[in-house]
Amino acid sequence: MRKTMMWALVTAATLAAGLGTACSDDSAETSGGGDVCDISCDAVPTFSQLSWNTCTSCHSSDSAVRQAQGVPADSDYSTHASASVRATTVAERVNDTTNPMPPNGSTALTAAEKEAFTKWGCCDAPP
């Protein structure tokens, strides 16, 4: 059992190391500094009010697209049900200065979009 778990971890790490940077793995630790969720939860946008098109070119409902882009299997952001599972991660990564989402080389979010994703992700991810 231990050998199987160790093999799985080594395999996962090896695969992760080979991922491209255009659409990167959003499960990485964040380094944006501070607690991004230490915010006021007034005027929280709903899922449909957010600009998910920026995200879904990589975080697609198509698992083959997600795999090809190197994003985690559970990172489908095309529906509220699937995106809300990673709501806090979304908030953290849009504020991460070292490993941001969208990744460097992609169209950056505006300050207003960052704030909206942060509030949504930190404040119970309303549908």
Q: What is the pLDDT of residues 23-40, one digit of tens each?
A: 655 554 444 445 999 999
Which residue, 35, 31, 26, is CA-closest to 122? 35
Residue 1 or residue 47, greater confidence: 47
Hey, where are the domains in the chain? 34-122
Omega prior to 72 cis, within 30 of 0:
no
- Are 99 and 28 spatial neighbours (Cβ–Cβ below 8 Å)? yes
pLDDT of the residue at 97: 93
Q: What is the pLDDT of residue 2?
A: 42
pLDDT at 5: 37
- Calculate the average pLDDT of the chain: 81
Confidence at residue 15, expressed as pLDDT on a 0 to 100 scale: 34
Give the pLDDT score at 9: 36
* Whether the Cβ atoms of residue 91 and residue 122 lie closer than 8 Å to each other: yes
Q: Provide DSSP, the chain.
A: -HHHHHHHHHHHHHHHHT--SSS--TTSPP-S-S-TT-S--SSPPPGGGS-THHHHTTS-S-HHHHHHHT--TT---SSHHHHGGGHHHHHHHHT-SSS-SSPTTSPPPPHHHHHHHHHHHHTT---
Dump pLDDT digits (tens) for 90-127: 999 999 999 999 998 999 999 999 999 999 999 999 99
